[in-house]
Amino acid sequence: MAKETGIPITLLSVDDSAGVLQAIRDDITNFNFATPRPEQDVTGLDKSARERLQLLADFSITMNGVFNDAANKSHAVFKTVPSTSVARTVSLNISAQTLLNECFLSDYTLTRAASGELTWSVPGALSDGTVPTWS
């Protein structure tokens, strides 16, 4: 496979609060995600260099987009974030590479800029202990 840009993202879908995956990538203007593996320093006094253990895998995402209150679009998906405590599937597909994670979404921030645009931001974090794995 050759080097590629991030254009286009072929899938970025999120469950609504009923657990139905909704394709909302056309409302998302940008996103970032991470799959970190923290480390614990276990260097003893007998060592001359660092010694580490790799800890638990994680996943986090922040999605940003444009307000859209049409049926099954971003507002319909995210408006229940403050009132429901359900894990939601976040599905990414980039160049036929898929990453699915169950996430808790922790906020639905709406911003009305001075110029008039109405945008949102939604952060999420791994909820079910499943190691993030590309397929």
Q: Can you read off the two tokens belonging to residue 38?
A: 């923290």
Q: Can you read off the two tokens belonging to residue 69?
A: 């209150």
Whether pLDDT at 99 is above 90: yes
Instruction: Tell me what percent of the residues of the chain surpass a pLDDT of 70.
Output: 99
The confidence score (pLDDT) of residue 3 equals: 85
List of residues 6+ apart from 3 with CB closer than 8 A: none
Q: What is the pLDDT of residues 75-94, one digit of tens each?
A: 999 999 999 999 999 999 99
Start-to-end Cα distance in the chain: 15
DSSP tag of 74: H
Q: Which of 94, 97, 104 is nearest to 129 (CA)?
A: 104
Q: What is the pLDDT of residues 36-45, one digit of tens each?
A: 999 999 999 9
Sign of CA dihedral 9, 24, 87, 40: positive
